[in-house]
């Protein structure tokens, strides 16, 4: 048994409508003048980049902009971003503006500014030698929680692999969350990112308890613990009540605010507790189809919840209650299974697929998906029910 757990978080969180106006005072506190701003073409075209740049220009910061981030960015693009910035000036601080990919790229840039080298030098867990350059993460989606997490994911295009860099030194110095920046997000992107945040929260909440995680030494994903449970459950409540409204009535700033808060709390939770089988299954499936990560994890989530319900009955019942299900007349088994049904109905309500065949997975793919999933130990060891090849294949056939 593991006798202790650690809880890590971002140093400072600034949240609220208009919070972007705090950017100057944040940079002053960091004693930064030369800024690398990392973002993507969508943020530029939406006018959000100009809003942030105008604040920086008014306060006379020297800013270099890299606005070429693509979804699931290639390793070489992260190195190119750093090389570009280094050729312009000495960087005092990095700003990541956008979704998870932009913030992940900003994390890698801040890492390389501090320690040099190449992104692949730091792959895996706990390979970052010390603090990175000051990093401000400004999310424009409510989904990844990257503004408070310890992970950055890149794509090794040459080997067709995802490369994860995981270290608590990667957590941004400041998470700056302004719900008004998320109002222009399209319904489909809102749905995909929001269901991903729900998957983070539910998998962190129902993860195997920390004492029973079978791993030695210093691990980032430690299993469920009291602090992560409290954060994850509040995130589930917020997302369950606000995701449909954020998707179907995108200008509703109250729903947008609650979704951004839910995503933040889920990020704080899962970056300590970890995710489990839904995320593990999503990795090999993501290699077979081009569906967005959030869409895949969301699709898998209710089937994984059903799979885990007999082992994590009490917490599944609590999730049912978070969805406002009256469990009073249900047996414990029925009340636990109601949680997975509620998530399935939520997927339908926000217009996301509910079967693997909808995104191009075939029966013949199932054995390979299950086999590759079992190799993702850092996630699979978190799952409350210990998976096997045959039980994962059965789960996948139900989801097909």
pLDDT tens across 71-102, in order? 888 889 999 999 998 898 899 999 999 999 99
Residue 384 structure tokens:
């409350």
* Residue at which a domain ends, from 182, 201, 228: 182
Domain that holds residue 162: 12-182
pLDDT in the model for residue 155 = 83
pLDDT at 158 over 80: no
pLDDT at 159 over 90: no
pLDDT in the model for residue 330 = 96
- List, for residues 102-133, the tens digit of each pLDDT value: 999 999 999 999 999 999 999 989 999 999 99
User: Mean pLDDT, the chain, as a whole number?
Assistant: 95
- List, for residues 60-72, the tens digit of each pLDDT value: 999 999 999 998 8
Determine what percent of the chain is predicted with pLDDT higher than 90. 88
pLDDT at 170 over 80: yes
3-state SS assignment for residue 290: coil
Do 154 and 97 fall within a single domain?
A: yes
Do 25 and 161 fall within a single domain?
A: yes
pLDDT in the model for residue 1 = 81
Q: Does 6 fall in a domain?
A: no
- List, for residues 4-19, the tens digit of each pLDDT value: 999 999 999 999 999 9
The CATH number for 43's domain is 3.40.50.1970
pLDDT in the model for residue 153 = 87
* Residue at which a domain ends, from 127, 162, 182: 182
In terms of average pLDDT, the best of 55-59, 88-92, 216-220 is 55-59
pLDDT in the model for residue 160 = 65
Q: Give the residue among 351, 398, 395 at the shortest CA–CA distance from 370.
A: 395
For residues 208 and 381, the answer to whether their CB atoms sit within 8 Å is yes
For residues 246 and 142, the answer to whether their CB atoms sit within 8 Å is yes
User: Which residues, including other chains, have CB under 8 Å from residue 86's CB and lie 6 or more apart?
Assistant: 113
């Amino acid at each position: 048994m593991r006798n202790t757990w650690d809880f890590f978080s971002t140093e400072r969180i600034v949240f609220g409508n208009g919070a972007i106006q705090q950017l100057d005072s944040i940079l002053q506190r960091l004693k930064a003048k030369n800024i690398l701003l990392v973002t993507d073409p969508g943020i530029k075209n939406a006018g959000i980049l100009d809003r942030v740049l105008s604040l920086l220009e008014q306060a006379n910061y020297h800013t270099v902009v890299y606005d070429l981030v693509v979804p699931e960015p290639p390793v070489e693009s992260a190195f190119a971003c750093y090389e570009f910035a280094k050729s312009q000036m000495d960087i005092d601080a990095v700003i990541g503006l956008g979704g998870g990919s932009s913030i992940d790229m900003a994390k890698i840039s801040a890492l390389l500014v501090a320690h040099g080298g190449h992104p692949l030098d730091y792959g895996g867990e706990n390979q970052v030698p010390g603090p990175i350059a000051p990093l401000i993460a400004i999310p424009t989606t409510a989904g990844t929680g990257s503004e408070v997490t310890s992970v950055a994911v890149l794509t090794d295009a040459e080997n067709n692999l995802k490369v994860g860099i995981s270290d608590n030194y990667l957590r941004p110095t400041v998470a700056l969350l302004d719900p008004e920046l998320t109002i222009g997000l399209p319904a489909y992107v809102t749905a995909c990112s929001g269901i991903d945040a729900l998957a983070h929260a539910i998998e962190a909440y129902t993860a195997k308890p920390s004492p029973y995680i079978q791993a030695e030494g210093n691990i980032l994903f430690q299993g469920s613990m009291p602090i992560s449970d409290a954060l994850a459950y509040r995130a589930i409540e917020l997302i369950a009540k606000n995701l449909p409204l954020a998707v179907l009535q995108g200008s509703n700033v109250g729903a947008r605010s609650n979704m951004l808060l839910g995503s933040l709390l889920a990020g704080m939770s899962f970056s300590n507790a970890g995710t489990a089988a839904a995320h593990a299954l999503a990795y090999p499936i993501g290699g077979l189809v081009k569906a967005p990560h959030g869409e895949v994890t969301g699709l898998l989530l209710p089937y994984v919840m059903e799979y885990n319900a007999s082992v994590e009955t009490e917490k599944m019942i609590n999730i049912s209650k978070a969805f406002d299900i009256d469990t009073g007349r249900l047996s414990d088994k029925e009340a636990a299974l109601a949680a997975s049904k509620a998530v399935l109905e939520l997927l339908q309500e926000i217009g996301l697929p509910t079967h693997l065949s909808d995104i191009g997975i075939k029966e013949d793919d199932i054995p390979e998906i299950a086999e590759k999933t079992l190799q993702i130990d850092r996630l699979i060891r978190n799952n409350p029910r210990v998976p096997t090849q045959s039980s994962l294949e059965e789960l996948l056939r139900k989801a097909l």
